[in-house]
Structure 1
């Protein structure tokens, strides 16, 4: 044994923080995921002009291709996360989606661009179910609020950074195509970083010491490897349980709000308030950066409140209710504002607590279903992204029919109401019943 290993496993050695470094890497991957995902929305004004797209429905269809592929791969990706090493899945998925992001730069028609977006959706699909498995293996129950926010924090951070980075790259190169190539190469490099540092289970990591390993395993018996392999049909018994159905419904409604705004805000700002590319990028960055800050703040409050001894039902119901109500009211007021700066401010307020919904990723583990967390989270994400695929098309029809975005914004308000109702239906005092062959 090396001197370094002796030091790390010496009695009294301070605990390492490998688990948090892993989730910072997951935050980075999530951010890159959304930079690549958002790139189409940021570049859309240029693509519309270059490809001579006259119909808003075609724009909606282009946005939806990613979500159809991403949605249809969620349940298979969840099963993969329950069957294979999450480290391998995460690293390879990241490298492959980086390649598809770069390949999109070679597209010269809406059809080929749609195919590239399908490839992006398929390859990005395993990240979140695999991340949910990592969270169950590496984090104790009272750390999962922060873990959920880091795991899913890349959505808001990536959307904010994507607005800045993509607009800068497009301006610098004078081409959305070169911006896509640079983004793809950066993603591939992040995949190599994930392979180097992430491990599926704590005991596999070369840099963890005994103090941290004991902390994880003492509070989290699911941090050890299971020999159980799961099948696609294993999800069926869980679809009969109210908590799982409420979990899926709440995530669908939340995702309708977040992804609807993420895909349509650039054109909304341009068409409704006359924003140019720089103003649009600045507004998107401001709104989603505040959303990211709010997300981390929410995770900290949840964990601190639960550590004080408060009931999980009280903590999560209160936080999720604030999240849903603030989002719905903020979007409604924005839709009724004619002042562009006020509209940006109202959307920033609406988005600040919206991604407290990220705690949904930890709920299967909180409800005692860690062994099938990948499958349940995959089903949850499949359902939400199925709606995320439909929503851009639906919004495109509404905009084309009405000639404005008011009715579309009301759709997001109604989705926020659904998010509130479903969140309050989850009973955290009632564990998910795990079937005998999976226990």
Structure 2
């Protein structure tokens, strides 16, 4: 007799979910990832000031913005393997201290080349974060809560971009120096990384504060879903791997294109001053964070009413379709307030793509969740390497951003097609669901 995992799950209020040990672990990961993405965003917001000081061409700006992704992409698969081999908690603690250090060093850069080198270091040590966090979510959360947990953690990316746009522009305005802003954010990262390392544990069994009832619930829900310590998954099909890679590349090129060049588009392309640009960036990426959190809640709800395959086709169809529509509309919108609203709506739906982070825990063997997460993000960050350089070249050649937005629209179409071709209708034991 097959257990109905949804019927077995107790009904939780938001308050009770957030006071359980497993959700405190998720919140720790969410907070650190938010700060992680403030670090990434700082360069994009500070770029107008940096360009004035270092006299950088658009192509050189693109190279510096891209440099982060050179090592961030390269180290995804090794970082995922290391999280499986040495423990996700250890990888997160070490990497947070080191990426925070490189963020501080960026504040002392004397020229564009030195700034590029600090971004290479930042990318190298931010690489382990999401593969390790995905492994932790698979360990701590039962399948009935995993979509909410993964998307909450990953919503730190747009939220960090939103807060980063507001906070970094405010720090630059208050201090008169982009360097001071970079050093403050880097020091905060090092301190927070130490706190998170002290509080995290790799498994529920290792946590001294978790009660037996919560441990039993997590274990029972995993067993009901076919997830046991000895469970092995059938190999992912070549078609599913290809679709996942294509979809992730398309998604990442839109998201990281907006993270790296979005503030410059608002400042140069739309004529906003630095404070207005910071506020607009905040609104746009805050909408993305809200959309991503909503997508996780919706995914858990839809899977109780439809097959998992159908639920995810609906989610990714809406996400990719609305992202594409908003990007195609944007070049024809003249009013800046309406343009920000259209872009915010597009990012709201585009960030439903954070559901990609549930794929490793959903489809991969338990001992390869970090590795599969690394492979998936390697594909996405490979696209992220290209997009800042490509946008810089397009701006230099065309003298504007109209073709850039259409380029992003083509990437959104790629995300839509790839996502709809993924086979979600199997569990970690290789069974159809």
TM-score, structure 2 length as denominator? 0.91
Which residue of the partner structure matches residue 90 of structure 2?
Answer: 88
Which residue of the partner structure matches residue 366 of structure 1?
Answer: 362
Query: Which of the residues 276, 284, 287 maps onto 2:284?
Result: 287
Query: Which of the residues 293, 303, 315 maps onto 2:300?
Result: 303
Distance in 1, Cα, partners of 2:50 & 2:407: 26
Which residue of the partner structure matches residue 148 of structure 2?
Answer: 146
Q: Which runs of 4+ in 1 moved over 3 A?
A: 221-226, 237-240, 430-434
Query: Which of the residues 379, 387, 390 maps onto 2:383?
Result: 387
- Deviation (angstroms), 1:225: 7.2
Residue 324 to residue 387, structure 1, CA distance change in 2 (3 Å): same
SS in 2 for 1:429: coil
Determine if the alignment matches structure 1 residue 421 to structure 2 residue 424: no
Which residue of the partner structure matches residue 321 of structure 2?
Answer: 325
Q: Work out the number of aligned pairs and report it.
A: 411
Query: Which of the residues 266, 269, 281 maps onto 1:269?
Result: 266
Distance in 1, Cα, partners of 2:276 & 2:76: 35
Determine if the alignment matches structure 1 residue 250 to structure 2 residue 247: yes
Determine if the alignment matches structure 1 residue 399 to structure 2 residue 402: no
Residue 224 to residue 429, structure 1, CA distance change in 2 (3 Å): closer
Determine if the alignment matches structure 1 residue 127 to structure 2 residue 129: yes
- Deviation (angstroms), 1:336: 1.9
Distance in 2, Cα, partners of 1:250 & 1:259: 14
Which residue of the partner structure matches residue 341 of structure 1?
Answer: 337
Query: Which of the residues 63, 74, 95 maps onto 1:72?
Result: 74
- Deviation (angstroms), 1:305: 2.1
Distance in 1, Cα, partners of 2:364 & 2:378: 21
Residue 341 to residue 242, structure 1, CA distance change in 2 (3 Å): same
Query: Which of the residues 77, 97, 100 maps onto 2:99?
Result: 97
Distance in 2, Cα, partners of 1:124 & 1:303: 29
Which residue of the partner structure matches residue 4 of structure 1?
Answer: none
Distance in 1, Cα, partners of 2:235 & 2:375: 10
Determine if the alignment matches structure 1 residue 113 to structure 2 residue 115: yes
Distance in 2, Cα, partners of 1:368 & 1:106: 43
Residue 216 to residue 58, structure 1, CA distance change in 2 (3 Å): same
Please list every run of 5 or more consecutive structure 2 residues that lacks an aligned counterpart in the other structure.
Answer: 1-15
Distance in 2, Cα, partners of 1:60 & 1:103: 20
Which residue of the partner structure matches residue 160 of structure 2?
Answer: 158
Distance in 2, Cα, partners of 1:305 & 1:131: 24
- Deviation (angstroms), 1:171: 1.2
SS in 2 for 1:353: helix
Distance in 2, Cα, partners of 1:144 & 1:433: 17
* Contact 1:137/1:224 (<8 A) preserved: no
Which residue of the partner structure matches residue 50 of structure 2?
Answer: 47
SS in 1 for 2:107: helix
- CA deviations 1:245-293 (Å, max 9, x no partner) are 2112111110011000111111111222211001100100011111111
* Contact 1:201/1:225 (<8 A) preserved: no
- Deviation (angstroms), 1:430: 3.8
Determine if the alignment matches structure 1 residue 376 to structure 2 residue 372: yes
Determine if the alignment matches structure 1 residue 62 to structure 2 residue 64: yes
- Deviation (angstroms), 1:148: 1.4
Distance in 2, Cα, partners of 1:316 & 1:426: 9
Which residue of the partner structure matches residue 23 of structure 1?
Answer: 26
- Deviation (angstroms), 1:295: 1.1
* Contact 1:201/1:224 (<8 A) preserved: no
- CA deviations 1:8-28 (Å, max 9, x no partner) are xxxxxx996111111111111
SS in 1 for 2:334: coil
Residue 223 to residue 122, structure 1, CA distance change in 2 (3 Å): farther
- CA deviations 1:204-257 (Å, max 9, x no partner) are 00111011101111122598878x9xxxxxxxx968622122112111110011
* Contact 1:239/1:245 (<8 A) preserved: no
* Contact 2:151/2:357 (<8 A) preserved: no
SS in 2 for 1:220: helix
Determine if the alignment matches structure 1 residue 36 to structure 2 residue 47: no
- Deviation (angstroms), 1:297: 1.2
* Contact 1:268/1:405 (<8 A) preserved: yes
